[in-house]
Structure 1
Amino acid sequence: MGCWIAESTHTRETHVPGTSLLDDLKASPATQEQSTHLKRDKNGIVLVPQPSDDPRDPLNWPTWKRELAYWNIVFATSLVGAIGPLIAPGFVQIAKEFQVSVNKVAGTNAALVLAIGAAMIPVSTVAIKWGRRPVYIWGAAFLLAGSIWSAAKPDLDNLLASRVIQGLGMAPVESTATATIGDLFPVHQRGMRVAVWGLSLLGGINLAPIVAGTIISTIGWQYCFWTIVPFFALSLIFMILFLPETAYDRAPIANSLSTSTGDIAASEDEKDEKGFSEQVEDVNAIEKQDGYLPAKTVWQEMLPWSGYVNKDPIWKIFLRPFLMLFSPATFWCFLTYGIATLLLVLVSATNSLIFSKSYGFTSRQTGLVSISPLVASILMSLVAGYIADFLATFMARRNKGVFEPEMRLLLMIPYAVLVIAGYVGWAVSYRNHDHWMVPVIMYGFVNAGQKFLSTASVTYIIDVHREQTSEVQACVNFLKNVISYRIGTEINGWVVGLGIEQTFYVLAGISTGIALTTIPMYHYGKRCRAWVSRNQKLFAL
């Protein structure tokens, strides 16, 4: 048992998906000898998965091309983050304008969330069957159209309908972005990429209210949408020009390196190393094949659909996200990433009520509150991303060169410290009638901690379910948004009834429970992966 990751007979004797040889300098001599021809990065780290010899393989694209595709996703994700809470600072003001309750106005956001949830599985199905590019372009077009509608028809009914269209447009990024990151980058480069992607999402969520608060209090809430329309237009253009299809049917990977038992037995921990040759992913199994098609032309890549078709029947692909919930890793991802993100979105949605009730803030002042979480997110995304990639190589070297996805989960420690301190500190500051800077700082703590959680859970899922990342993200986000819809229609009334102080104690308690689930997941995660591998019929139909 290396690094407190539990082993079993199955994990020692058979290949466990996700377990990879990352640094063969720490492996046995026989393994080093057989891995000399493996493809590596400039630092000598083994590339997992191994790029094929196909020029259409995204892992073989020039660096500039992969970077353009990645930053397209980051830009689109920031806009998706922004559109959700865009008018949240003005809920109280908009309710007065329409002479309805705040909950009624908040219901437009709840409708957006429900639309995301409803579209999540169908969009994921299309992205897996016919590729990522068509759904990205479709989503960008819906976001552009929905924002124009919201701005041009400033009444409650049209706002409700247009927010539904926006929700449908948000689904492609929410369900597919992490899978695209897995398409473009190997294991040891994903941590920082996921962290920056997560920053773009939280950055959009936190930056939008800062700008929107001022716009709402000066010229009106509908101009929030007119302001974001040009950015959605740019996103659509960039996707057409610079986001080729990244879905790729990679050759199946064999299960073992032929490392000799004698070499393995010579290691420090013979019991834990037994069966090493059969538990480490064989990144060397992809053989050169003749007959690859030439690289696509620029015109071919700019077509809305590249011709990619997954061979599986569409009904199987549609049902797969629901089946993935039986995977312990997917269920853990929902409990952590799904629930914690839901809590953060709900806090953002109730800021107008919390700060107007506690400190008499206007819409503009409420919007400025988001400066604190924005700064915290920027700083901690860089820290979390660096630590995630550092852990992958550092922990692998301590484990005889073998990387286990559970090593990423150590990022949950700073999450627990920061988020629990943030929610409890917010509650105490309200009880003590502290200066408004105290809850604003605590809001920053919560967002800083969220960066560690999102980086840990998303990279873990990409590592564990590399080929099913879209299904997992669709499942998690579907459940999150269905729950969020129901809570979103009642959240302001719930906060008023429970009390602001008690609300934050409840959030702290939920966050503690989320953090504690990581302990069994870290210890037994490899056994869970082995169980999933042995019971593929539950997941693959």
Structure 2
Amino acid sequence: MDKTEAVQVEIASQSDVVKGARQKQVVGNLKLLDGGQTILVPTPSPDPKDPLNLPPWRKWAVLILVSAYGCTAVVLASGLGPIFSIVSASYPGQTARANDLLTYPALFMGIGNLIAMPLALSIGRRPVFLASILLLVAGGIWCACSKSLGSHIAGRDIMSLAAGQSEALAPMIVQEIFFLHERGRKLAWFIFIECVAQGIFFVVSTYMTSAWGWRWWYGFFTIFNAIILALSLVFVTETLFDRPEDASTGAVELEFNEKGDLETGGEIHKIVRVTTAHGVVLEPERFGPRTWRHDLRIFSAKPRWVEFLECYKHIGQGFCVPSMFWLLLMNGSFLGLYIFEASTFAGVLLSPPYSFSFNSLGYVQAGQVLSCLIFLPVLGYGSDWVVRVMSRRNGGNFKPEYRLLPLWIPAVVCVVCAIIYGQSAAHPKEWHWSAPVVAYNASFFAFLGANVVGITYAVESFPLRAAPLLVILCAGRGFISFGLAYATLPSIQAIGYDGATLVEGIIAGVLALMTVPVYLLGPRIRAFGQKRFAMGSSKEAEEQ
């Protein structure tokens, strides 16, 4: 046996070992670091039309546009609180029913996720995203021109169907154009841009409504959404892309000859993973170049209607995986506290002894900007840093549970703020006005933290089931927040501000403490999902 044959036998032997290890590997566990380089997960293909191969400026354009859409969607669906007193004054004698303007949007946002996400799997992300913005524009016009409270409520419900995609579809688009090692900070940028803009709009909203009336509040955001729609038609390309199963774990390998060039059929000298140093070589002559004509198509993928029903099946299976069900409850509990405070802070601050002016409420909401400024480096870049450090300590191997480690920060903040807000709202004469204001905005920070941890952990635990798992988290917490919104007033009447927030703080704290067993048992839970529901395999693999 000559030297060349010996090298080929050794490479073949190594390849067999790798393949065998892959077959036994628990879904979610993967090799992330190769020496000093980061392995690209998922592995980009040589096709220039692969969304992972978009130039950086184009990825940022997509991220900014989906963030802008998410901002206006959330403000329109959930940001009526600061101006609600002016809106309800337009419907004298119907104050109780006017509350439906605040409560029902959360329910319809959840329903919107249940409809839109299966559609996005079937016909692609781009048509569903564009249709959502168009529906948001139509809903804004409806609300602005409504002639009765019933019509106003119906318009907000339709509008909220479109707004729901800001919670699941928008982050899915973001995570599909970035690699695993950068998802934490890129999702944090998505949330940061969205929430900073929200804070600015909350300040502007009170002045805008005072000067123009609430109908032009809808008018302003409708015009803004029309601009987002026009820009998205040009820049937000389709992010649905079929790639082999081993590419989703970064297991694709490059073959090099002795000269260090990519080998396409000759003598192989070494095999390496696709890393930040050894990226793929694009092959436009084989796959065709990326063109504006391709990107401007509304439908880039052939409809796969079977995926629509499969998504509901996978949603049901996801509920049966303990870690995913825990994520839903934890996200719901953190959101529940924030919903309680968002629904009550105006009444607390407008009343004596705080006696805030109406326009000052917008500045209270603007405190969310500061929350985002802390959130981005701590839980965005910090999450990716923790993943890299822990993976290096684990021989370069990544586990999704590393994403759970920074959760202790929002957990502590959530519980502490629940107590402070409840006490300051129940006994305002004993507390400075800053207590409810800081607690309210810090609770928003805590929810953002639970949100980004939930999204990244779910997607990276079962990457081939990202869409249905995002539906569980986002639609599920939408239904939870709808129930909590209706329970706010009865709970205050029954046990007071302090009692209600204490109960919610205890629930959130207990669920946060469950992070410890989930971290320890996470690999076994993922193995259960892989074995019982084939959650680590593609549809084709399931059928074999």
Coarse TM-score class (shorter-chain normalised): 0.7 to 0.9
- In the other structure, the counterpart of 1:377 is 372
- State how far apart, in whole Å, the 2-side matches of 1:299 and 1:287 are: 24
1:480 to 477, 487, 490: 477
2:392 to 384, 393, 397: 397
* Structure 1 residues 220 and 510: CA distance shift in structure 2, 3 A: farther
* Structure 1 residues 536 and 287: CA distance shift in structure 2, 3 A: farther
- State how far apart, in whole Å, the 2-side matches of 1:532 and 1:174 are: 24
- State how far apart, in whole Å, the 1-side matches of 2:414 and 2:511 are: 11
Q: CA deviation at 1:288?
A: 9.6
1:324 aligns with 2:318: yes
Further displaced range: 108-117 or 225-234: 108-117
> Does the 8 Å CA contact 2:339/2:485 hold for their aligned counterparts?
no
- In the other structure, the counterpart of 1:24 is 34
Instruction: Give CA-to-partner distance per residue, 1:332-389, whole Å, 9 cap, x none.
Output: 2211223322432342233323323453434322232112233112322232111111
2:458 to 452, 455, 461: 461
> Does the 8 Å CA contact 2:43/2:250 hold for their aligned counterparts?
no
- State how far apart, in whole Å, the 1-side matches of 2:243 and 2:512 are: 35
TM-score, normalised on structure 1? 0.83
1:314 aligns with 2:308: yes
Code of the aligned partner of 1:487: L
* Aligned-residue RMSD, C-alpha: 3.0
- In the other structure, the counterpart of 2:331 is 337
The residue matched to 2:246 in structure 1 has which SS? coil
1:111 aligns with 2:104: yes
Unaligned runs of 5+ in 2: 1-19, 253-272
* Structure 1 residues 490 and 407: CA distance shift in structure 2, 3 A: closer
- State how far apart, in whole Å, the 2-side matches of 1:102 and 1:311 are: 44
The residue matched to 1:123 in structure 2 has which SS? helix
1:231 to 211, 221, 224: 224
**Pairs within 5 Å for 1:3-42:** 14-25=24-35
- State how far apart, in whole Å, the 1-side matches of 2:282 and 2:373 are: 44
* Structure 1 residues 374 and 283: CA distance shift in structure 2, 3 A: same
Code of the aligned partner of 1:351: F
> Does the 8 Å CA contact 2:184/2:383 hold for their aligned counterparts?
yes
- In the other structure, the counterpart of 1:89 is 82
Code of the aligned partner of 1:337: N
Further displaced range: 431-440 or 44-53: 431-440
- State how far apart, in whole Å, the 2-side matches of 1:366 and 1:97 are: 20
Code of the aligned partner of 2:153: L
Q: CA deviation at 1:512?
A: 0.7
1:49 to 42, 50, 68: 42
- In the other structure, the counterpart of 1:36 is none
- In the other structure, the counterpart of 2:238 is 245
Q: CA deviation at 1:105?
A: 2.0
> Does the 8 Å CA contact 2:113/2:165 hold for their aligned counterparts?
yes
Instruction: Give CA-to-partner distance per residue, 1:134-155, whole Å, 9 cap, x none.
Output: 1100000011111122122264
**Pairs within 5 Å for 1:201-216:** 201-203=194-196, 205-216=198-209
- In the other structure, the counterpart of 1:3 is none
- State how far apart, in whole Å, the 1-side matches of 2:501 and 2:511 are: 15
Further displaced range: 155-164 or 442-451: 442-451
2:130 to 121, 134, 137: 137
* Structure 1 residues 393 and 489: CA distance shift in structure 2, 3 A: same
Further displaced range: 515-524 or 419-428: 419-428
**Number of residue pairs matched?**
493
1:520 aligns with 2:520: no
> Does the 8 Å CA contact 1:114/1:482 hold for their aligned counterparts?
yes
**Pairs within 5 Å for 1:265-414:** 292-310=286-304, 312-357=306-351, 359-414=354-409
- State how far apart, in whole Å, the 2-side matches of 1:432 and 1:363 are: 18
- In the other structure, the counterpart of 1:529 is 526
> Does the 8 Å CA contact 1:179/1:470 hold for their aligned counterparts?
yes
The residue matched to 1:369 in structure 2 has which SS? helix
Further displaced range: 210-219 or 125-134: 210-219
The residue matched to 2:99 in structure 1 has which SS? helix
Q: CA deviation at 1:102?
A: 4.7
- State how far apart, in whole Å, the 2-side matches of 1:490 and 1:446 are: 19
Larger RCO of the pair (alpha carbons < 8 Å, separation 6+): 1
Code of the aligned partner of 1:146: G
- State how far apart, in whole Å, the 2-side matches of 1:417 and 1:131 are: 39
Instruction: Give CA-to-partner distance per residue, 1:243-271, whole Å, 9 cap, x none.
Output: 0100111112189989xxxxxxxxxxxxx
Q: CA deviation at 1:315?
A: 2.1
TM-score, normalised on structure 2? 0.83
2:57 to 17, 42, 64: 64
- In the other structure, the counterpart of 1:184 is 177
